[in-house]
Chains A and B, each alone.
Chain A
Amino acid sequence: MIFLKDISTPINKVDNDEKMSGKAKYVADIKMEGMLYAFTVRSSIVKGRIVSITYPKIPDGYFVVDHRDILGKNIVKVIYEDMPVFTKNEITYLYEPISLLVGPDKEVLSTLVNQIEIIYEEEEPVFDWVDSVIHYHFEKGKGFEVFSDKEIIEYTYETSYQEQAYIEPQGFIGYPEKDGKVTLVGSIQCPYYVKNAVIQALGVRDDQVRVIQAMVGGAFGGKEEFPSLLACQLAVAVQKIKKPIKIIYEREEDMLVTTKRHPSRITLKAAIENKKIIALSANAGIDAGANIGLSGVVLARALLASTGAYTIDNIAVSGDVFKTNTVPNGAFRGFGAPQMFFAIEMFIEHVAKKIGVDSLDFRRSILAKQNDLTSTKGIFRDPILMPEMIDKALEVSDYLRKKDEYSKSKDFKGIGLSLFFHGCGFTGSGEKNVIKAKVRLKKELDQVYILIAAVDMGQGVKTSFRKLVAHILDIDIEQVIFNNPDTDFVPDSGPTVASRTMMIVGGIVARAAKEVKERWNEASFVVEKQYEQPEYIEYDEATFTGDAYPAYSWGVNIVEVEVDKLSYQVHIKKSWSVYDVGKAIDERIVIGQADGGLAQGLGYGYLEVMNHKNGKILQKNMTDYIIPTAMDMCPMETYLFDNPYAYGPYGAKGVGELSLIGGAPAVAKAIENAINKNVYKIPVTPEYIMELMNDGEN
């Protein structure tokens, strides 16, 4: 039997066949009897107030649904509650939702939308980063100020928007059930985020809302909090009209109005003594857009990574979330870490160059080690395998020889190396105090049902969790059942985010499975377990003190590029990656995550341009927002190092976000190596390279 083998040995994914044959049902594929469609009416100004709205004559069977129909609270429940479900009259960004038009014929709806007349009173929008709504500050050791008489090296780094660009746009179907309950089926990462948001908007009891996950065609954070807004709007419409209603965004609407990765500006300063960094100052600003939403947590994750994969004893860290009149930004794989790791990885390289030491030796000399203090005076408790992982990456890529050769030649070839980690699970005490994950396993005769709210959005949760439970119980995977989460049947095991699913939820499921195993002779029973935080973990959110994460996954990326001498186009030739994710529950799935995350990180670093002009996102479709195609990507070699974590199932730590983080700095450094100029912002486009070639710093 397969399970006598190492759990990491790959098995076929359980949903391969339905996905490949076209049978899998995504939300757009679902039809219901008497189903209506909804279109969103949006503001055409960036900032101001609605003076009046005149709707055309609404035909029978068509409806307008707006803020007046909200029986509960007109606020979308997320971490920071400042986003209305439908605006009443205040407009804070372009295309802010005002109402839904609902009816049976999509063409009639689009005609009606064009006949709506809205009169506004416009106000001056704010796009500069001046309105700080969240400010954080913390220090370690002696901070930074006391070293201001030393040699100071300072650089500022900038990162721009990134769009999740899941291939399946956002969508939901909502319908009333016989008992008045409102049910929502959607493309979502977090069934309970949606459910709790809808309960608050409808002003109903817990048992009057049901949320079911449809097959999810990619998410990457883009379906973490945004679907709560869409679901609240649709649920209000269902509550009013009492018919099934479907809303599916077209690509243009999806790109213009959904949340994106926060643009950032990060200034790093190093105090230097005897060619060593004795203190670091980090200041990060991120652009929240018009609503704060999750931005505080994104900023926190960025700041916690401000020393990168290194230990620096004296640090002063600060950051701000700025509100601007632009589309609200939100969750995207990596959640603040990609911005900071780009900045710190470039900075350490630039510092090494400036003080005239070999950057790799310099980085190795300051690598974080087991028992070192983290940036928040927590402890890296588990072994850190980075020295061995770096050696492996150097060996398989022939990095040292290539780096030396490319540095001397004028062939515009380059190779870059990035070192990084990702804190697994929610930041701080989020798991213990906020999420309080619960899981249930139900045994019925010889079958076991996994009842959790974790969503398979392509990352293989259905396969890896069935495999995990089957492996512990030593039964066939066919005996383990895992259906898409339905909040009427599964407990709240938390959202499918933050690289927490296998390590945190899987850890609880594994504990439950062990109990099922002990009681296997009983015919039918249910085991419920709750998250238990390791006792040694303590974190104070107010002062940023203690263990921000229970465990860390680590990575090394090496990327080789060639830059076209005439057009400055970047061609990625090959990548080599080494990761420590504790223990892979399925190697093939982890390698798939590794490849896909790296591709997104590389795209972030050199290809994906998104910006706004006067509050309007300029890239509105797949034609002008360029994500990598097969032609842009390269062969990727990946190696996994086992380093089991005591509280993860079989030692598993987080996987999902880690592989995105190192891509941008690795490709940016490879480009630096090729063009022999310092890079300070991403994406490193041909236009930016041309600028650097003309007057950049060597």
Chain B
Amino acid sequence: MAKISFVLNGKTVEFESDLNRRLLDVLRDDFNLTGPKEGCGEGECGACAVLMNHEIVNSCCTPLANVIGKSITTIEGFASTKRYVVIKDAFAKTGGVQCGFCTPGMIIATESLLNKNPHPTEYEIKIGLSGNLCRCTGYNLIVEAVKEAAKNGEGLW
């Protein structure tokens, strides 16, 4: 057990924990943030994606020790931003949401991409989403959603 502190969705949190624990379990079990999902548990599917210092990471492969002093944003935290509204409207408009299990991760991946590259090409969008598996959509309408968000969010990123 060790004392740990990091910023979670804009607020500093401090608690005692085993530093080997997966960030995903800490978020879901200790903070009841169930937006990040466990799809594979080994960093392949991206359903557990969160932002760490504004870069996408798979929280299932992130031990708590790596989070000390960092800023973590989950979908719950990101959902209160203007950028989220633009991305969410784009996903709704194109039809990028089906079962929804991959969706929080897809939205985090979209934010991570647009934050670095506000005007991605289709190829760059596909690379940006390639760490997030979706079995429902075939990605076509998700790629369209990211294009739409980039267009409508002009100036936000």
Q: Enumerate chain A interface residues (CB-CB to B < 8 A).
A: 10, 12-13, 15-26, 28-29, 31, 164-169, 215-220, 250-251, 457-460, 588-589, 591-592, 595-600, 621-623, 627-631, 633-636
Contact = CB atoms under 8 A, between A and B. Distances in A.
Contacts of B28: 29
B63 interface: no
A167 B134 contact: yes
B76 interface: yes
Contacts of B32: 31
B130 A20 contact: no
A238 B130 CA distance: 41
Nearest to B47: A167
Contact of A22 (B41, B95, B104, B132): B104
Interface in B37-64: 37-42, 44-45, 47
A671 to B, nearest CB: 19
5 contacts: A21-B88, A23-B35, A28-B37, A167-B47, A168-B101
Given A22-B34, A167-B45, A630-B130, A596 B39 contact: no
B34 A29 contact: yes
A217 B48 CA distance: 14
Given A20-B104, A20-B107, A22-B104, A630 B98 contact: no
A630 B42 contact: no
B interface bracket (residues with beta carbon within 8 Å of A): 35 or more
B101 A217 contact: yes
A395 B97 CA distance: 30
Nearest to A164: B135
A383 to B, nearest CB: 28
B112 interface: no
B138 A636 contact: yes
B39 A629 contact: no
Contact of B126 (A215, A622, A631): A631
A25 B97 contact: no
A12 B94 CA distance: 10
Contact of A595 (B76, B101, B140): B140
Interface string B131-142: 011111111111
Contacts of A164: 135
Interface in B123-157: 125-127, 129-130, 132-143
Given A21-B35, A22-B34, A251-B42, A217 B137 contact: no
A318 B42 CA distance: 44
Contact of A599 (B91, B107, B139): B139
Given A10-B95, A622-B133, A20 B103 contact: yes
A600 B135 contact: yes
Contacts of B23: none
B99 interface: yes
B139 A633 contact: yes
A630 B139 contact: yes
A502 B134 CA distance: 24
Nearest to B44: A622
A595 B137 contact: yes
Nearest to B75: A22
B72 interface: no
Contacts of B137: 592, 595-596, 599
A215 B100 contact: yes
Given A622-B133, A623-B42, A21 B79 contact: yes
Nearest to A168: B101
A636 B32 CA distance: 38
Contact of A636 (B42, B130, B140): B140
Nearest to B76: A22
Contacts of B122: 635
Nearest to B39: A167
A250 B134 CA distance: 18
Contact of B95 (A217, A589, A599): A589
A675 B80 CA distance: 52
